[in-house]
Structure 1
């Protein structure tokens, strides 16, 4: 018997043995999702799948770290070549890898979290000499986010600005 399967129930074994195409595992907290994923990775490696062809994505840094530790305990150094990260980390790596195809962009971009964005908007309001009571940073961020959601860049937003508020947000 393969030691990878020793501690798994029937449904978990079924998920680990699934080797054709992607697999989505949804289950409640503490049900063994991480155990199944790490065992599946070990099983795929046993079957000869190259580590760099395996992608495992989690939502949190804590979960990614825990999964990486478990995979390392199961497979050793091969774990270093597996794409195992959070959604955000994976997307940032992918963007950096592919950025050369986008005119005007380089690998040296920075991704701002919500507090970074707030600081930047406050700084812009100050430089534009705008009252942050009339132009609250959160509402400015909301307006910018709405424009981004419809794929509108700054130039297009400025062209469609219909009132003083939108003109200043465009600035």
Structure 2
């Protein structure tokens, strides 16, 4: 049989003390510091992600598109040829149907299309007109839609440089 002293040591009394004021303050302070640290990490991560992107200027938003060299006001869409697509209009004879790279749809016979003058890529009129409203390049190869010298913004000819005597 067990002695009465061993019985009291085997079972612990169930004392319930309410948390002290200091423990509550410490708990709330720890939670506040944790929330602040998480928010700081999120803000720093967002700033890091945004810093890697190129800044967008007002000229780019106004219609310069992705052309980094001298953003133009846009492309004169009326200068681009528009015609009804026929099977013979395909540039490659690989046996596959022409595809509009903007909408990724097949170009069907009779649909109105535009062929870009420099790169010769073919697009639905609605698709390429919407693209050219905010870009000055081909959506597929990024070639300029209009050659740089075909308007009155052509650069003046460079003067020959003279060698200086040594």
TM value normalised by structure 1: 0.22
Q: Which has the larger radius of gyration?
A: 2
Which protein has greater RCO, CA pairs closer than 8 Å, 6+ apart? Answer: 2
TM-score, reference length from structure 2: 0.22
* Structure with the higher fraction of residues in helix conformation: 1
